[in-house]
A = this chain, B = another copy of it.
Amino acid sequence: MSEMPDRLRDGLPKPVVLETSRKTAGWGLFTPHPEPVLTVQPGACVTIKTVSWVGATVPEGPVAYFEALGVPADQVLPELLEVATIPRPEGSSCHILTGPISIEGAEPDDVLEVRVLDVSPRVPYGVHITGPDCGVLGDLLERRSTRLFRLDPEQRFYPFGGGIEIPFRPFAGIMAVAPPTSAGTVSANPPDRWGGNMDFRDLVAGSTLYLPVFQPGGMFYTGDTHGAQGHGEVSQTAIEHSMAVTVQFLVHKGGALKFPRAEDADHVWCMGIHEDLDEAMRIANREVVDYLIAVMGMRDDEAYRFSGLLADFKVAEAVNGNKVIVAEVHKDRLRPLLGGADLPVVGGGLH
């Protein structure tokens, strides 16, 4: 579909393209010591052509699945057919992940900065699925409910019906690094300290994600791309839609993050991730206070005060085993401290 806009290319290296295939992708599982499918230098840009999991997990196979929803076979990505033939390992989530990408020089206790440059649809449709045992109200529905949503030609919205438009705001539901060795091999369904299935819908093009590094090279994966979702993803899925995700990687030496952080032009975001929402809330509050103390230089009581008066807490995702609460601070509130300079989001020096 669309290509990365020229304005995002200015001054940036030409992206390396990583296709999804049996060799570069797999079912949703993170291992601490994976073999990279691509190795790049810090500063490199990569376009990762991901495929959504929808249609790959059903016995009838992707083509029959999508034909039943009115999608012709030539609009089903060939990579989806290819990945669907990979045996699904025990304990994996349903997601198809592309990667991992090794970033040279990234070491444990560093921070991997992932600048999201572009997220573009690869097919003109997405799918939303809900039903019994799905989401926050798992007992609401008696029958599975699947809907195909076609993107309008200008890629602005999906029609919901009754004149309602769902704004098209694509992002990657999963961006992760390999977990620490102590975590072992884990499902990609619950998000955790290594990022993963955070489903934080503000990580659109123009935003930047910061992930703690646990393994040499970081080992970055992405997938589970979404065209639209509310904060919370409460009905279990977003509009699941295959996207090409273009990112630039940078490495901060010794940033030593505990949980992921993120930013866009206007906001700093600190994440709390836990199976219990109250605990996720405590972690998110602790994370924003730590940021204000360690990076912005506030005293502990003033940092806590600031978090109560000027931070907003929202539920990014409430349905994936672990839940995500994001503390949001508007940059306008903090900029005066730095005389209008760019705000740092993590400590450590850029590599």
Residues of A within 8 A of B (CB): 128, 130-131, 135-137, 140-141, 143, 145, 147, 160-166, 228-239, 276-278, 281-282, 285-286, 289, 300-302, 304-315, 318, 323, 325, 333-334, 336-337
The listed residue (B166, B230, B305) touching A130 by CB distance below 8 A is B305
Main secondary structure of the interface of A (DSSP, over half): mixed
- Select from chain B the residue with minimum beta-carbon distance to A277: B277
Interchain residue pairs with CB less than 8 A apart (6): A164-B306, A230-B309, A230-B312, A231-B314, A236-B308, A313-B315
> How many monomers of this chain does the complex have?
2
- For the complex with contacts A141-B304, A229-B308, A278-B323, 19 further pairs of A-B residues with Cβ separation under 8 Å are A130-B305, A135-B308, A136-B285, A137-B282, A137-B289, A140-B286, A141-B300, A143-B301, A145-B305, A163-B336, A164-B337, A166-B310, A230-B309, A232-B312, A232-B313, A238-B308, A276-B277, A276-B278, A277-B281
**In the complex, A334→B231 CA distance in Å?**
17
Contacts of A237 in B (CB 8 A): 308
Cβ of A309 and Cβ of B277 under 8 Å apart? no
Cβ of B334 and Cβ of A130 under 8 Å apart? no
Cβ of B128 and Cβ of A160 under 8 Å apart? no
The listed residue (B130, B304, B336) touching A137 by CB distance below 8 A is B304
Cβ of B311 and Cβ of A232 under 8 Å apart? yes
Contacts of A304 in B (CB 8 A): 130, 135, 137, 140-141, 145, 234-235
